[in-house]
Amino acid sequence: MAPLGRAALLLAFGLVAYALVAGSYAAWKRRRRLALSAQNALLAAFPVTLIAVVVLVVALGRRDMTFVYVWQHTSHRLPLGYALAFWGGQEGSLLLWLLVLTGYGGLAVWLNRRSRELIAWTVPVFGLVGVFFAFMLCFVSSPFHLQPAPLDGRGMDPSLQNPYMLAHPPLLYLGYVGLTVPFAFAMGALLSGRTDERWIVATRRWTLAAWMFLGVGQLVGAHWAYVEIGWGGYYAWDPVENAALMPWLAATAFLHSVMIQEKRGMLKVWNMVLVALAFNLSLFGTFLTRSGVIDSIHSFSRSPIGGWFLAFLGLMVFVSVALIRWRLPLLRTKTKLESLVSREATFLYNNLLLVALSLTILWGVLYPIVSDALRGETRSVSKPYYDFFLHTFGLPLLLLMGLGPLVAWRRASLRSLGKTFVAPFAAAVVTGVALLALGFGSSWPGLLAYTFGAFVAASILLEFVRGRAAAGGVRRLVSRNRRRYGGYVVHAAVVLLAIGIAGSSAYQTTRERVLRPGQSIHAAGYTLTYVTSTGVRGPNYTGFRALVDVRRGGSHIATLNPGMNDYNIEGPHNEASIYHDPRSIGDVFTTAQLVNKQGAVDLKVFVKPLINLIWVAGFVFVAGSLIAMWPDAVEQRRLAARYAAGAVPAGL
């Protein structure tokens, strides 16, 4: 079986290499049949890669320990679902990258095949990225190494055996790899010297989908960290977490600025820069997560692929910069920003803030390497650094989300602005004052987040109310303006997210005490009484649970049981116990550690108001993205007519 897998990967390598080489030559020398041939090679790469995936998945399902990879990541007792998650190790994750790349790339190219000139150059770009991953899989990091079969495998870390962790990597990869599609088409457009918007039209939904998956993937990961790891938080600014956030921020900027290019024909150079930034950051993110180059708490062993990845990343950055520079004269337009108070301008400010935030996070991630190189000493930054920039850039971004819709394109007179501004502004002021009176002034970032959130929420609501009146019903309104109103729903999700984050961090209450049975902790209106502890036993662990009685205002509302499982092989593992309070949409989060044989426990309590808004935001986010992505027959026809030079059905 392994030889089949290896052969499939070699064949895949050959196919993408052909797509790269023959495709480039064909595009350069304008050879139609060769270009088609290269396109076919790219299309064929997906089923071939799929064969390799099937071989690996079957081996994993059968727990065939002669496969080194199977031995490293499964055991005979591991439930099937987790065993089949082939992306768990480095080799498997590279395979997933290649699979999604060839799948997405093939489909995107196929759907746009009639745009021959553009596709002729897009195929080799996909080929180039594919060649790297196929090369790694064939010659550097193969999932098909064999060994004499040991009795059992190393198993999977119990904290990973969790449905959230199952979904997290594929979602992220659909995002990361998805950003290759707009990148490839953008570079294809540059290479073919096309300055029209064909590439944007072709890739708009792909970008939106990739961005959605990347966002959801991060939320799923955060939720897992919160419930499973039990340190009381959901985001730690760890390099591996930032690795996914940075490309997501860049992609957010890109999604907005692309709208400006569509509406006003401006910012062509900036869009090229952004799409290249988003793609290269997602490569960097993959590299960070897998190479151990930065001593993150998620550090894997220093793997040999680090050097290769860095070289490839350098190559792609060089290619991006060179291509943009080469085509700069073609991209420059004479259209200028007509006013600093216009929707274009707010989009521009939004872009600047998003990119600035992304770059400061990047700096924070690279700091240990930079400081080591410059001073021979590794220093790292942590939460205070990131929090500062999150507040400095994030809060204005939140505000802009509310301002943008109120401002017209091109030029907004202050008078018009005043009219539309009044209601949301009033809502914000009222909220702010009320919150101050209620004591929320204890945290000014939190207060600002809530106040700005109210502003944005009011502004979005107003859009729907006004629009509904004009269009005759919300359904008609939304279906005729899918992108705009889908976007508003996404903004609403961001508001929920911001409020949830603010509540659960700025207004969090933490208490920790060593308790004997019968003693209590008071936190934010709750009284938690430690009753007793009991031992627990599982197939591969022993442990204890502390029974905790939760009361509010004297009445019992919940019983929690935080504790610890001590696994035979892996060691101790915190089991947090969480009470979801419908009244505050928040959580009472508890962990317990045994202190002595008399049953005293160290109980830690976090009261996190509004935290569940974060998870709710995830659903709203998906809904909004889907609305914005939804195919629109009228728009499709119009675009088809526009590109009728080749009778092209535009993109998805």
Partner 1 sequence: MGWGLALAAVVAVVAVVFVARPFVREPSPASDELDELAPEARERLALAEERDRALAALKELEFDHRTGKISDEDYRAQVSPLRRRAAEVLRALERGEEGPHERVPGQGERVP
Partner 2 sequence: MAAALAVFVVYTALAGNGIAQVRPSSLAGHTGNVSLVGAVVGPVRGNAHVRGGLRFVLKDVRSANPARVPVVYHGSVPDLFKTGRDVVVDGTMRNGVFAAKPGSLVTKCPDHYAGKSSKT
Q: Which does 247 bind (CB under 5 to 8 A by kind): partner 1, partner 2, none?
A: none
Would you count residue 202 as binding partner 1 (CB under 8 A)? no
Q: How far is the CB of 636 from partner 1 (least distance, A)?
A: 13
Would you count residue 72 as binding partner 2 (CB under 8 A)? yes
CB atoms within 10 A of CB 582: 7
Q: Rule CB under 8 A: which of 519-558 touch partner 1?
A: none
| Residue type present at position 492 | A
Would you count residue 33 as binding partner 1 (CB under 8 A)? yes
Would you count residue 59 as binding partner 1 (CB under 8 A)? no
Tokens of 125: 């770009």
Helices (H), 404-481: 414-437, 444-471, 474-480
User: Which range binds partner 2 by CB under 8 A, 15-23, 31-39, 535-543, 568-576?
Assistant: 568-576
Please pick, from the candidates 406, 576, 611, 613, the single residue that binds partner 1 as defined by CB under 8 A. 406
Q: Decide if 153 contacts 70 (C-beta within 8 A).
A: yes
Please pick, from the candidates 221, 402, 500, 618, the single residue that binds partner 2 as defined by CB under 8 A. 221
Q: How far apart are CA 417 and CA 405, in angstroms?
A: 11
Q: How far apart are CA 327 and CA 188, in angstroms?
A: 12
Q: Decide if 187 contacts 318 (C-beta within 8 A).
A: no
Q: Which does 275 bind (CB under 5 to 8 A by kind): partner 1, partner 2, none?
A: none
User: Which range binds partner 1 by CB under 8 A, 194-202, 294-302, 369-377, 527-535?
Assistant: 194-202
Would you count residue 604 as binding partner 2 (CB under 8 A)? yes
Q: How far is CA 385 from the centre of its chain?
A: 21
Please pick, from the candidates 375, 415, 537, 583, the single residue that binds partner 1 as defined by CB under 8 A. 415
Q: How far is the CB of 376 from partner 2 (least distance, A)?
A: 10
Residue 312, judged by CB atoms within 10 A of its CB (0-12, 13-18, 19+), counts as: buried
Return left, alpha or beta for 30; rule: phi > 0 is left, psi -120 to 50 is alpha, else beta.
Answer: left
Nearer to partner 2, 157 or 632 (CB): 157
Q: How far apart are CA 345 and CA 335, in angstroms?
A: 13
Would you count residue 540 as binding partner 2 (CB under 8 A)? no
Please pick, from the candidates 21, 36, 160, 227, the single residue that binds partner 1 as defined by CB under 8 A. 36
| Residue type present at position 35 | A
Distances (CA, A) of 198 to 59, 114, 271, 295, 330: 43, 12, 14, 43, 15
- Among 491, 503, 533, 361, residue whose Cα is nearest residue 440: 503
Q: Rule CB under 8 A: which of 100-119 touch partner 1?
A: 116-117
Please pick, from the candidates 116, 298, 410, 552, the single residue that binds partner 2 as defined by CB under 8 A. 298
Please pick, from the candidates 16, 17, 20, 35, the single residue that binds partner 1 as defined by CB under 8 A. 35
Q: Rule CB under 8 A: which of 445-484 touch partner 1?
A: 463, 466-467, 469-470, 481
Would you count residue 214 as binding partner 1 (CB under 8 A)? no
Residue 350, judged by CB atoms within 10 A of its CB (0-12, 13-18, 19+), counts as: buried
Would you count residue 70 as binding partner 1 (CB under 8 A)? no
Please pick, from the candidates 303, 333, 371, 520, the single residue that binds partner 1 as defined by CB under 8 A. 333
- Among 273, 191, 204, residue whose Cα is nearest residue 25: 191
Instruction: Give backbone dihedrals phi and psi of 583, rounded to 5 degrees, phi first.
Output: -70, -40
Nearer to partner 1, 89 or 106 (CB): 106
- Among 390, 403, 393, residue whose Cα is nearest residue 340: 403
Would you count residue 18 as binding partner 1 (CB under 8 A)? yes
Would you count residue 572 as binding partner 2 (CB under 8 A)? yes
Q: Decide if 560 contacts 579 (C-beta within 8 A).
A: yes
Nearer to partner 1, 8 or 622 (CB): 8
Q: Which does 1 bind (CB under 5 to 8 A by kind): partner 2, partner 1, none?
A: partner 1
Q: Which does 126 bind (CB under 5 to 8 A by kind): partner 1, partner 2, none?
A: none
Tokens of 429: 């002021």
Q: How far apart are CA 4 and CA 16, in angstroms?
A: 18
Would you count residue 2 as binding partner 1 (CB under 8 A)? yes
User: Which range binds partner 2 by CB under 8 A, 19-27, 372-380, 614-622, 629-637?
Assistant: 372-380
Site string for partner 1, 619-638 (x = CB under 8 A): -------------------x
Sequence-ordered list of residues with C-beta below 8 angstroms from that of 369, at least 6 positions apart, any chain:
293, 294
DSSP string, 284-327: HHHHHHHH--S--TTPPP--THHHHHHHHHHHHHHHHHHHHHHT
Tokens of 202: 């072709």
Distances (CA, A) of 571 to 53, 64, 118, 150, 542: 32, 26, 55, 23, 10
Which residues of the chain form contacts with partner 1 (CB under 8 A)? 1-4, 7-8, 11, 15, 18, 26-27, 30-37, 40-41, 43-44, 48, 51, 116-117, 120, 194-197, 262-265, 333-336, 338, 406, 408-413, 415-416, 419-420, 463, 466-467, 469-470, 481, 638, 642-643, 645-646
Which residues of the chain form contacts with partner 2 (CB under 8 A)? 72-73, 87-90, 92-93, 154, 156-157, 159-160, 165, 168-169, 221, 224-225, 228-231, 233, 236, 238, 240-241, 295, 297-301, 352-353, 356, 360, 363, 367-368, 371, 377-382, 384-385, 388-389, 392-393, 512, 514, 570-574, 591, 593, 595-596, 600, 602, 604
